[in-house]
Each structure stands twice: as structure tokens, then as C-alpha cells.
Chains A and B, each alone.
Chain A
Amino acid sequence: MSTDTILSFEEAMEKYDPVLGFEVHVELNTRTKMFSSAPNVFGDEPNTNVNEVDLGMPGVLPVVNRTAVESSIKIGLALNCKIAESCRFARKNYFYPDTPKNFQTSQYDEPIAYDGYLDVELEDGTVFRVEIERAHMEEDAGKLTHMGGATGRIHGADFSLVDYNRAGVPLVEIVTKPIQGAGSRAPELAKAYVAAVREIVKNLGVSDARMERGNVRCDANVSLRPHGRERFGIRSETKNVNSLRAVEHAVRYEIQRHAAVLEAGEPVIQETRHWHEDTRTTTSGRAKSDADDYRYFPEPDLVPVVPSREWVEELRASLPEPPAERRKRLKADWGYSDLEFRDVVNAGVLDEIEETIAAGASASVARKWWMGEIVGRAKAADVDPGQLGVQPATIVELATMVEDGKINNKMASQVLDGVLAGEGTPAEIVEKRGLAVVSDDGPLLEAIDAALAAQPDVADKIRGGKVQAIGAIVGGVMKATRGQADAGRVRELILEKLGVTA
């Protein structure tokens, strides 16, 4: 593996202006595939979610999945795209074992959605508009595992094993127009853009949007041009950058690498690059060549998709509130500070807090419980906070008990532990663990009588005006009530009992 010379990011930015472009593939979570009725399920036994259509057997006919078309239109609408009056599928011809048909059914000259935009919010709140060129429907390819060879990488592989379960899974490919003007924030924008797309498709419910499973995959195009020049430089395309962090790092690395190439007076090669998470570098894939001649032609086995305007408007009306708008609304409703809200978002408990407030908690109580109690426990258990299974009603119940003075905050935290350990509802745990704050004077008076009787000399001292001696009696009462008495109230009652005014 060759190591590239790179320039520092700062120096690269001083001399060059980056232009970005992204192709994001979104796997839809339909029950069946794009063109066949085989199940679209991740992680099953190899080659069991296939039928004759997915295996490209002779004479089979594909039929378009209506739900996949609906999902595609929803994605287009959420990206502020126009939806085609009529569009068709095309064959993208290539020979590689990931497709048994020797072509991928895709869209070429007539994508279902085009000319949109997405407003992407950067971490400091700056909004950057990314223009969307198109979003088109296609199918995923099978999964190849390269076997043998010295390194296990494809270059040393002896043979490959192919699983076609993923072949034919519905995909929507979202292509941006060239993104200009991001400057030194290009890597951050890259990450924010992919995060925003992921969030949108998840919010629409059209994809599971799990990057670690390849539900959302990103190819990142980077080119540099000297400041002030309009013409784009030659780009590289880094394939399959499949985590948000990796997108940011890959764009940053490619900017630094291009800058070094240009500084050396050499031309950037237009090529595919492979991202390596371990070294955070890219390596050369293959150069664009005549192997990229896909000879697209209209798919003769599928008829055009003509979404009626009624259908499109029906789908538009059914769209959920866009995530960015929702955040703005919730922040205003809850009255959190910028910092508080950002922490909540970063901790991934926005939904949970919203549900807890809906269940009856105040915004500040909901935040206190999720951020103060649950996020830390989730981190210790190495799971997402939502996965701990804390019910909104549980938090409301705990908060109410604290407000009513039945338990204090420390006890409430113990009760939560009990709930997580499956010991029952908060009320049951308070009962079982005997955790209630004793504020009823009856049991307190009994304990006070007992404490005074046990230490008659101390009682006499207090009667005699040595009020500071009261600590010993209070201590006795607290011990007898296992720390559950309100110490201030105990003191009052003792003084009352002994007829002393403090």
C-alpha cells in the first residue's frame, strides 16, 4: 500500500478551494425487493432470500414494488425535489459477479425526483444549502466476500463467494450538484450532509438508516481549484465511506492529498479511491476508463412509472415534520438553553425527552432524569439511552414521588436502579425496599420517645438549655428510621416534646 504525500489541511485551504459532491445510497426497508417478491431482510442465511428474478434467470419478468416507489417519492419530496410526471427504468450494463443479470436495473435519463435542496445545519448553527441534482430508484447488488490471498484484500484474492440476498433490495441514490463555497468547513459539511440525509430517511420511516449495516452508504467526490478560479479541478471519488466520522475524515484526507499533488505540479488522477478506516487514508482503486461504459438503455421489461399529481400530493400531505424544524420547535417549547439542547441532541435522547414530557413530566424534570440519571447508566452499559427501556411513565412516577416528598432524589435514583433491575414499578420498589421518607409524625414521635428514653442524661441536658446536645437524639432517631426521617422535622419535634425553644 503506497503512502501519499499530503499537505496540512491549513495549507491546503490557504491555496485551494474545495468542491464536493455526494452520492448517497439509501436502502429502503420495504418488506420485499424492488422487482421481486423475495424478502428484503438483513442477516439471513446466504442465498435464501432469492427467487428467479433476483438470480436473473432467463425469461423472468421484474415487477415494480409499489411501496418502494412511494418511499422514493417521499424521499424526493423531503429533499424538496420535483417529482417526475413520468419516468422509466434503464439497464446499466456491466460484468461483475455482484449482479447475476450482468446489468443493474436503475434509472438514467429520467429519475423519479430531481432539482431539490437540503438545508444542512452545521454544529455552530450555520445553515448551508446543498443542491440536490436527482434521486433515482435502483436495486442493490449481491455481496461478495473475497477469499484466500495473502492479505484478504481483493488484490490477493483467489476466489470470491457471492450471496445474492441483497441483490434486488430497493435503493434510492441521492446525487448532489457540485457543492461550492464550503471552504475549510468542507469536511464538517460532508458529515453534516450525510447525517441530515440519514435523519430524513429515518424520520420518513422508509429506511432503517443503519450505516453499520450499509443501509446508508456514501461515495464522496472531492476536487480542488485555486482560489478565484471557476473551473472545477479533477475529482476523485472515495467509495463506500460508511460512517459519519469516516465521511468527515475521508473528505479532509482527500483535500490534503489533492493539494499535495497539485503543489507538486502534477495532475490529479480521476479515479476511484478506497477508504481505510484503520489508517484514515485512501488508496487508489481503479482509474476511470472505458470499463465505465455502461451502455445504458431503457429497460424493456418494465413500463414507465407515472405518478399522478393526486398521489404525489397525498404523499406530500403524509410527510412527517422535517427533523430540523422539529428540533427548532422542541427547543422553543422546552425553553432549554443552546448548550442544554445541544447536549440533549448529542446524547440522542430527544425522542425520549419528548415522550417523557408528553407523559406528564415538566421539561426540566425530563431533562434532569434523562441527562442526569439515564444517559450515564446507558454509557456504563454501553447501549443507547433509549435501549435501557426506561418508560416515560416511570420517570413521571418517580418525579411525582419526589415532588410529594415521599422519597428524596437519592432514593429516587435507587428506585430507578430497582426498575432497571426488573424489581417492579417505582411504587412497588419503594414499598419493598422500605425507602419512603418518613414525614408522618406518628412513627417519628415513637422513635423520639425511644431515643429520649435510651439517653435520659442527654434529654436532661437539653431540658437544661444545652440545645446543642440534641444531635445525639436526632442521630438516634435517624438510626432507628434507617435514615428515612426528615432530620429538620425530627429536631422540631424533640424540642416541642421537651418544651424547649431553640
Chain B
Amino acid sequence: MAAINRDDVAHLARLAHIEMSDQELDRMAGELAVIVDAVKSVSQAAGDDVPATSHPIPLSNVFREDVVGHTFTAEQALSGAPDSDDNRFKVPAILDED
């Protein structure tokens, strides 16, 4: 069984600013452990000769030239914002962070 316990889930929830009830934490710990176990099964297929990778395709150096492309107007940029003011996104003050 994967090492995802209730404390891990509570920690992640805190980092993500998500409020979770005790029942939710219990349930999520169980579900995440199963998911991690399922993903882990991949390592059974890969032998010692297969190095860890973050990219399945052997590509490198995909670059863009430094040429200005399209932009949004402020109205377009803010069109999906729940709240805005003075052409800027308006968000609740988050305390104790810099």
C-alpha cells in the first residue's frame, strides 16, 4: 500500500488552501493511496535499463524566436475574472504571505 496517509492529504489541502472535513480527508487518503499504487505498477514494466524520464519523446531545444505575437486587451484578459477593478484582477487579500 502506498504511503499516502491522512496527514499527507491534510498537508496538501493546507498548501492548496482547500478546506476539507475529517470524512473527506479519510476518504481522500484511501483513494489517493489506490491511485498511487496503480501508477506505481508502471515501474514493474520498466527494467533497470530504462532511465527515469520526464518526457516520453526524445525532443530537445524547441525554441521560439523573440518576436512579439498577439496579446489580449485588458477587457479580454479580465473577461473570465470573478471580480475586477481598474483593469486589474481583484482578489481577496491573502495575509501572512509575501
Chain A residues in contact with chain B, CB under 8 A? 30-32, 36-39, 45-52, 55, 63-69, 86, 88, 93-97, 144-146, 148-149, 154-155, 157-164, 239, 272, 274, 285-286, 290-291, 293, 295, 297-300, 302-306
Select one of A39, A63, A154, A290 contacting B63, CB under 8 A.
A63
Contact check, B98 vs A31: say whether CB atoms are below 8 A apart: no
Please name the residue on chain B nearest to A69 by beta carbon: B63
Q: Knowing A66-B66, A239-B98 touch, does A95 contact B89 (C-beta < 8 A)?
A: no
A155 surroundings in chain B (CB, below 8 A): 95-96
Taken together as a complex, chains A and B put the C-alpha atoms of A144 and B95 apart, in Å, by 13
For B62, B78, B88, which residue has the most chain A Cβ atoms within 10 angstroms? B88
Contacts beyond the supplied A38-B70, A46-B86, A160-B92: 13 A-B pairs with Cβ under 8 Å: A32-B64, A32-B66, A51-B72, A65-B63, A68-B66, A86-B60, A157-B95, A158-B93, A161-B85, A239-B98, A299-B54, A302-B62, A303-B61
Q: Knowing A146-B93, A159-B91 touch, does A48 contact B70 (C-beta < 8 A)?
A: no
B72 surroundings in chain A (CB, below 8 A): 47-48, 50-52, 55
What are 11 A-B interface contacts by the 8 Å CB criterion? A36-B69, A37-B70, A38-B68, A45-B74, A47-B89, A51-B71, A63-B62, A94-B15, A96-B97, A155-B95, A157-B95
Q: Write the nearest CB–CB distance from A71 to chain B, whole angstroms.
A: 10
B65 within 8 A of A: yes
For A159, A291, A297, which residue has the most chain B Cβ atoms within 10 angstroms? A159
Contact check, A48 vs B69: say whether CB atoms are below 8 A apart: no
B85 surroundings in chain A (CB, below 8 A): 161
Taken together as a complex, chains A and B put the C-alpha atoms of A32 and B87 apart, in Å, by 22
Q: Write the nearest CB–CB distance from A384 to chain B, whole angstroms.
A: 29
Select one of A46, A163, A291, A306 contacting B97, CB under 8 A.
A291
Taken together as a complex, chains A and B put the C-alpha atoms of A37 and B74 apart, in Å, by 16
Q: Knowing A31-B66, A50-B77, A69-B63 touch, does A161 contact B86 (C-beta < 8 A)?
A: yes
B40 within 8 A of A: no
Contact check, A285 vs B89: say whether CB atoms are below 8 A apart: no
Taken together as a complex, chains A and B put the C-alpha atoms of A67 and B65 apart, in Å, by 7
Q: Write the nearest CB–CB distance from B77 to chain A, whole angstroms.
A: 4
Taken together as a complex, chains A and B put the C-alpha atoms of A306 and B64 apart, in Å, by 15
Q: Knowing A45-B87, A47-B78, A304-B55 touch, does A39 contact B68 (C-beta < 8 A)?
A: yes
Q: Knowing A286-B97, A286-B98, A291-B97 touch, does A30 contact B66 (C-beta < 8 A)?
A: yes
A30 surroundings in chain B (CB, below 8 A): 66
A94 surroundings in chain B (CB, below 8 A): 15
Taken together as a complex, chains A and B put the C-alpha atoms of A38 and B64 apart, in Å, by 12
Please name the residue on chain B nearest to A297 by beta carbon: B54
Contact check, B78 vs A37: say whether CB atoms are below 8 A apart: no
Interface size on B, residues (CB 8 A): 40
Contact check, B15 vs A49: say whether CB atoms are below 8 A apart: no
Taken together as a complex, chains A and B put the C-alpha atoms of A163 and B77 apart, in Å, by 10
B54 surroundings in chain A (CB, below 8 A): 88, 297-300
Select one of B62, B69, B70 contacting A303, CB under 8 A.
B62
A154 surroundings in chain B (CB, below 8 A): 93, 95, 98
Q: Write the nearest CB–CB distance from A203 to chain B, whole angstroms.
A: 20
Taken together as a complex, chains A and B put the C-alpha atoms of A49 and B66 apart, in Å, by 15
Q: Knowing A161-B85, A303-B62 touch, does A47 contact B97 (C-beta < 8 A)?
A: no
Q: Write the nearest CB–CB distance from A41 to chain B, whole angstroms.
A: 9
Taken together as a complex, chains A and B put the C-alpha atoms of A164 and B91 apart, in Å, by 13
Please name the residue on chain A nearest to B11 by beta carbon: A290
A298 surroundings in chain B (CB, below 8 A): 54-55
Contact check, B65 vs A46: say whether CB atoms are below 8 A apart: no
Please name the residue on chain B nearest to A285 by beta carbon: B98
Q: Write the nearest CB–CB distance from A28 to chain B, whole angstroms.
A: 10
Q: Knowing A55-B77, A65-B66 touch, does A162 contact B89 (C-beta < 8 A)?
A: yes
Question: 10 nearest interchain CB pairs?
Answer: A37-B69, A298-B54, A67-B66, A66-B63, A157-B93, A161-B88, A162-B89, A63-B64, A306-B60, A47-B77
B27 within 8 A of A: no
B90 surroundings in chain A (CB, below 8 A): 159-162
Select one of A49, A68, A95 contacting B16, CB under 8 A.
A95
Contact check, B61 vs A31: say whether CB atoms are below 8 A apart: no
A162 surroundings in chain B (CB, below 8 A): 88-91
B42 within 8 A of A: no
A64 surroundings in chain B (CB, below 8 A): 62-64
B38 surroundings in chain A (CB, below 8 A): none
Please name the residue on chain B nearest to A67 by beta carbon: B66
A157 surroundings in chain B (CB, below 8 A): 93, 95
A36 surroundings in chain B (CB, below 8 A): 69
B73 within 8 A of A: yes
Q: Write the nearest CB–CB distance from A132 to chain B, whole angstroms.
A: 25
Contact check, B66 vs A306: say whether CB atoms are below 8 A apart: no
Taken together as a complex, chains A and B put the C-alpha atoms of A290 and B64 apart, in Å, by 37
Taken together as a complex, chains A and B put the C-alpha atoms of A285 and B97 apart, in Å, by 8
Q: Write the nearest CB–CB distance from A100 to chain B, whole angstroms.
A: 8
